């Protein structure tokens, strides 16, 4: 009888242990609210004399990483799981943030919780407060989608992009390099000591020191190799954006929040940014759009076309290029004005100084009711009627020496013996200038 009771007790104890282990495992694999994470760190960008690129300087190790992947791509999903597993084992202090759909798809594959947004606060609003760094797995469309999450944010986190899509103008790294690439970004800013700032004239704030002290041995000191050295910071290409506003005929700014963030305060103030381009197009209307174009406050022309593109140098290799626009290096401070299928063949694309404001007003001669306005491929959700204006300004990103705010900081790949940004070689390999006809 005693043996039977003991045996039953062991079975009950074993069941309880399995239940507890399953419960712990379930908690580790759960999806959590991104709002519970600490506030984001704002890095600095150090200028260097030998290059137009900047050097990324973290005041303390980054903590919250947003990963955006290409949708409906099983191979990219497997790469995401591999990447996150590496992050978990090598950088245990980091928290992983995913888009809601991605989090629901892959969270069961991890032994740690992942973070995402709730229905109360969309991810595009949460990212402004919580994300230290962005990693993209996909093509140029994935990078634009990640950038659109910060379309109303003035300080965009550094963006590390792995080229895994059909286009690669913006993607800098191959996925096979992800361990080296991520370590380079994570360690950028660590000095000779585990927690020494590279910049002698910039001291970490009290909040940064407290945040890092709570990490214990999981900050920079836990990574093999520790300091990258003051000259080994991650290289940053600061891509400028366009600031866009939609105005009524009497000059009042229309609240044009993005679809992902209907209650965003910055959008309500008219701070909506475009990384690639602003497009005004006739949409479903059969008639050509008639637009009055003003450059620097002066009337330029009445454009009759399918649409008009105002593009950044980054967007010069996108829709603007397909419409006959010039290719412009991303470091050239400029904006491009490109007509889409203009009725008059004499209306040619223009390259203007970045400081030149551009206004596009829908003319009273326009035969359709409204035209559509989109930013980086996303409709603004507000049609443009006769007399309304789209005003475009360049985003100011440099405010003094080593004071860079705004733009999209993109992590560039370091190539031995090459000191430029790699744009020249990359452009030729993608567009294949003078490539022989019929060659494989």
226 and 264 share a domain?
A: no
187 and 215 share a domain?
A: yes
pLDDT score, position 440: 61
- The answer to whether residue 135 is domain-embedded is yes
Q: If residue 159 lies in a helix (H) or strand (E), which one and from where to where?
A: strand 159-163
Task: For 282-343, list the strands marked E by DSSP.
Answer: 289-295, 298-305, 307-311, 334-340
59 and 149 share a domain?
A: yes
226 and 118 share a domain?
A: yes
234 and 255 share a domain?
A: no
- The answer to whether residue 382 is domain-embedded is yes
- The answer to whether residue 399 is domain-embedded is no
- The CB density around residue 103, as the number of other CB atoms within 10 Å, is 21
pLDDT score, position 26: 46
Residue 96's closest CA among 138, 61, 125, 135? 135
168 and 272 share a domain?
A: no
Q: Name the residue with tokens 């290289």.
A: 235
384 and 413 share a domain?
A: no
**Cα atoms found within 13 Å of the Cα of residue 97, Cβ hemisphere only:** 30
Residue 424's closest CA among 54, 156, 52? 52
Q: How many domains does the chain have?
A: 2
Q: Which residues contact 35 (CB under 8 A, 6 or more apart)?
A: 118, 121, 126, 130
Per residue in 266-311, pLDDT (tens digit) is 554 557 999 999 999 998 888 999 999 999 999 999 999 999 999 9
Residue 302's closest CA among 355, 344, 341? 344
Residue 275's closest CA among 144, 154, 412, 374? 144
- The answer to whether residue 437 is domain-embedded is no
Confidence of residue 22 (pLDDT cuts 50, 70, 90): very low
Taking 60 as the threshold, does the pLDDT of residue 99 lie above it?
yes
223 and 280 share a domain?
A: no
Give the C-alpha separation, 160 to 142, whole Å. Answer: 12
- Please state the pTM of the whole predicted model: 0.83
Helix runs in 54-167, H state only: 74-90, 100-106, 123-130, 140-148
> Which structural domain, as residue segments, surrounds residue 77?
28-238+409-425
Using alpha carbons only, what angle is made at residue 170 by residues 167 and 175, rounded to the nearest 5 degrees?
Answer: 75
**What is the average pLDDT score of the chain?**
82
% pLDDT > 70, the chain: 78
Confidence of residue 218 (pLDDT cuts 50, 70, 90): very low
Exposure string (b/e) for 42-55, b if CB count within 10 Å is 16 or more? ebbbbeeeeeebbb
CATH code at 312?
2.60.200.30
Give the C-alpha separation, 373 to 349, whole Å. Answer: 19
- The answer to whether residue 403 is domain-embedded is no
59 and 146 share a domain?
A: yes
Higher local confidence (pLDDT), 210 or 408: 408
- The answer to whether residue 435 is domain-embedded is no
227 and 95 share a domain?
A: yes
32 and 104 share a domain?
A: yes
pLDDT score, position 189: 83
CATH code at 160?
3.40.50.10330
- The answer to whether residue 11 is domain-embedded is no
Note whether 132 and 106 are within 8 A (CB): no
Q: Is the dihedral of CA 110, 115, 119, 123 positive or negative?
A: negative
Q: Token pair for residue 420? A: 């430029």
Give the C-alpha separation, 130 to 123, whole Å. Answer: 10
Taking 80 as the threshold, does the pLDDT of residue 13 lie above it?
no
Per residue in 229-254, pLDDT (tens digit) is 545 689 999 999 999 999 999 999 98
- The answer to whether residue 14 is domain-embedded is no
Confidence of residue 70 (pLDDT cuts 50, 70, 90): very high
First vs last C-alpha separation in the chain: 82
294 and 204 share a domain?
A: no
Per residue in 382-412, pLDDT (tens digit) is 889 999 999 999 888 887 788 888 899 999 9
Q: Which of 23-27, 91-95, 333-337 has the lowest mean pLDDT?
A: 23-27
Confidence of residue 256 (pLDDT cuts 50, 70, 90): low
Taking 60 as the threshold, does the pLDDT of residue 203 lie above it?
no
């Amino acid at each position: 009888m005693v043996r039977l009771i003991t045996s039953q007790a062991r079975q009950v104890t074993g069941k309880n242990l399995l239940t507890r282990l399953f419960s712990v495992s379930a908690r580790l694999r759960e999806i959590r609210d991104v709002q519970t994470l600490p506030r984001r760190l704002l890095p600095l960008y150090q200028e260097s004399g030998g290059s137009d690129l900047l050097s990324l300087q973290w005041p303390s190790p980054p903590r919250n990483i947003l990963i955006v992947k290409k949708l409906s791509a099983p191979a990219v999903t497997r790469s995401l799981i591999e990447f996150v597993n590496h992050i978990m084992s090598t950088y245990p202090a980091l928290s992983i943030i995913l888009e809601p759909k991605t989090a629901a798809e892959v969270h069961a594959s991890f032994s740690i919780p992942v973070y995402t947004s709730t229905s109360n606060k969309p991810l595009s609003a949460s990212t402004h407060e919580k994300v230290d760094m962005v990693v993209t797995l996909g093509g140029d469309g994935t990078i634009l989608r990640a950038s659109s999450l910060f379309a109303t944010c003035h300080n965009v986190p550094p963006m590390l992009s792995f080229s895994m899509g059909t286009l690669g103008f913006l993607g800098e790294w191959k996925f096979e390099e992800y361990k080296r690439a991520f370590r380079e970004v994570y360690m950028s800013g660590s000095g000779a000591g585990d927690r020494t700032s590279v910049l002698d004239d910039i001291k970490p704030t009290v909040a940064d020191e407290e945040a890092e002290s709570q990490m214990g041995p999981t900050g920079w000191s836990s990574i093999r190799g520790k300091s990258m050295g003051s000259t080994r910071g991650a290289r940053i290409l600061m891509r400028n954006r366009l600031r866009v506003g939609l105005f009524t005929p009497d000059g009042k700014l229309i609240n044009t929040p993005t679809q992902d963030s209907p209650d965003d305060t910055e959008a309500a103030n008219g701070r909506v940014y475009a990384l690639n381009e602003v497009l005004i197009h006739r949409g479903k209307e059969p008639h050509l759009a008639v637009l009055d174009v003003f450059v620097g406050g002066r009337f330029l022309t009445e454009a009759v076309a399918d649409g008009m593109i105002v593009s950044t140098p980054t967007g010069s290799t996108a829709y603007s290029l397909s419409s006959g626009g010039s290719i412009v290096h991303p470091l050239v401070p400029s904006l491009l004005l490109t007509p889409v299928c203009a009725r008059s063949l004499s209306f040619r694309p223009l390259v203007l100084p970045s400081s030149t404001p551009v206004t596009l007003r829908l003319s009273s001669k326009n035969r359709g009711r409204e035209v559509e306005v989109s930013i980086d491929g996303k409709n603004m959700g507000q049609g443009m009627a006769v007399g309304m204006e789209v005003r475009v300004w360049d985003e100011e990103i440099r405010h003094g020496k080593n004071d860079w705010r705004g733009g999209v900081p993109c992590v560039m790949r370091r190539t031995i013996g090459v000191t430029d940004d790699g744009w020249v070689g990359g452009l030729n390999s993608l567009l294949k200038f003078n490539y022989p006809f019929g060659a494989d």
